[in-house]
Amino acid sequence: MADYIAPLRDMRFALQHLAGLDAVLALPAFAEAGGEVADAVLEEAAKFATGVLSPLNGSGDREGAKLTEGGVVVAAGFADAYRQFVENGWASMTGDPEYGGQGLPNLLGTVASEMWNSANMAFALNPMLTTGAVEALRAHGSEALKATYLPNMIAGTWTGTMNLTEPQAGSDLAAVRTKAVPNGDHYLITGQKIFITWGDHDAAENIIHLVLARLPDAPEGTKGISLFLVPKFLVNADGSRGARNDAVCASLEHKLGIHASPTCVMAFGDQGGAVGYLVGELNRGLNHMFTMMNEARQKVGVQGLAIAERAYQQARDYARERVQGRVVGMAGKPPILHHPDVKRMLLTMKSQIEAMRALAYLVGADVDLAHHHPDEATRAHCQARVELLTPVLKGWCTEVGVEIASLGVQVHGGMGFIEETGAAQHLRDSRIAPIYEGTTGIQAADLIARKLPQQDGAAMAALLAAMRETAAAARRHEGAAFQTIARHLAAGIEALASATAWAQTADPAAALGASVNYLMLAGYVAGGWLSAKAALAASSLAPQDEFLAAKITLAAFYAEQILPKAPALSTIVQGGTSFAPHIPAELF
């Protein structure tokens, strides 16, 4: 397996010219996080990703996690890597300073998350879920719970999990049966949860589970679900680790990929009841958990980007070295990188990766602006765009990530199908991302039924207006590449606008039937918009520079080879798939 090297120059370009890093660093909340701090974070994160995490990716996949009588033991090297992760301060990077965090921007956390997931996706799931649990507890927990648990969780010495799914309650959380019975100042939790990522392990001192459960007299459905904090080890009054709680890993799932990430079946209360503490209000647990879920959905979108980058690097390096066949117009047998179809595949991979990166960083910056900008109108605008684009980031980036990982195997030819090269692992690992934290269908339903109609579609209208400004700027620019970009981007924007108008008045069942295609349409057009912005920024700097010239080339390739999907998807949204909900089940 090829080593992962963080594409720092690409990352810095996206940060500065597409996400607006300077505007984020200018916020009062980040007064001490200047450009030098940001550069140091990127450099050191890259070193950690390449030097510590990447070498464990292949061995962790082969060894996996193991369940023993004492609990789950992670693959060799993972516990030590996590110790270094905590000691180097990576766990606390974006944490609230009130509880010991460094208070750095979410945008920098997004970039670091890309590196962790490219280097070792199985490892990166652990801190990703801990960050989400921290956000949920910080937003909804009592002052006593926050004081007891947040400092260690932000430091990383305690990790966090999300416990939603049950055997009979996958996406339908209304069917949750886990029970919570009041018992003095706490609750006794009984039930079983499945698919719990890093639900048990030996890499941290304690594991803090956030668990959805219902009281015996709770209302039926989602309105009767509450959220509870259930520690693996109870915490003594002085903050030290106490007795073992009645929460254990009953078994480990055998999975297609991310083998080094222990996916647990968690049993709560087999010995009488696991001690749990209410987080937030009774019967509002699902609302509270969405704080964690939205954080996780954004980071899973980053996973789609990250695994695509790793697959691209592997395929590119292989294509540079592999000699096979002859190339028209070239003497001898050059590496397969010179074959036109291999170039097509690599350009398809890289152009979409750059578009995905731009979208992920844009959302990461908008989160910071929505939370910290001094102007209320700006905060509201950024929050609306975060809400609109979160399902697109999660759904589009993960679906495209699988396609790119598959192309990575294809570039290798038969060797890609052989595990030893490592290309197959990237494809296997990528396949979970469109599924967990809400499938693509769930993201699409959220986008078209909830996010799009908010404020009569104002967020999408504002986004389309920004896209049209970029298309107009490209149209005014000299050069064939920019005319290509402008023409295809304008067509994509109008395709998205037309599909949006249809979705806003369509029969709800028809809209849901078309929702995944609508989400993918939005993703491709957003990617084209940001690619065009990248080309314009590169042209304004020094287009004769090889790196910057490549931004223009990639944007033109994306416009010509990827964006034509937009009008086709718009036609599909408004036509074929709209009748799918009305087809009788007997047909199948």
Catalytic residues: 437
Alpha carbon separation from 265 to 123, 268, 273, 407 (Å, rounded): 19, 10, 16, 33
**Residue 94 contacts residue 106 (beta carbons within 8 Å):** yes
B/e letters for 122-156, b = 16+ CB within 10 Å, e = fewer, are bbbbbbbbbbbbbbbbbebbeeebbebbbbbbbbb
Q: Which amino acid is at 418?
A: I
Alpha carbon separation from 207 to 99, 112, 483, 485 (Å, rounded): 18, 23, 55, 49
**Residue 207 contacts residue 201 (beta carbons within 8 Å):** yes
Residues paired with 244 in a beta bridge: 233
Phi and psi torsions of 310, nearest 5°: -65, -40
- At 492, list the tokens: 């994509």
Distance of CA 326 to the CA centre of its chain: 40
Phi and psi torsions of 335, nearest 5°: -60, 155
Nearest to 183 by CA among 266, 248, 274: 274
Nearest to 472 by CA among 487, 494, 460: 487
Alpha carbon separation from 307 to 223, 254, 413, 418, 531 (Å, rounded): 37, 21, 19, 18, 20
- At 198, list the tokens: 């890093």
Strands 158-163 and 206-213 come out as parallel
- At 585, list the tokens: 């089940």
Q: For 541, left (φ over 0), alpha (ψ -120 to 50), or beta?
A: alpha
Cα gap 334→343, rounded to integer Å: 13
The dihedral sign for the CA sequence 73, 77, 79, 80? positive
Cα gap 277→193, rounded to integer Å: 17
- At 206, list the tokens: 């304690």
Cα gap 449→431, rounded to integer Å: 26
Residue 427 CB neighbours (<10 A): 24
The dihedral sign for the CA sequence 221, 227, 230, 231? positive
Write a three-state SS string for 481-506.
HHHHHHHHHHHHHHHHHHHHHHHHHC
Cα gap 433→300, rounded to integer Å: 6
Cα gap 315→382, rounded to integer Å: 37
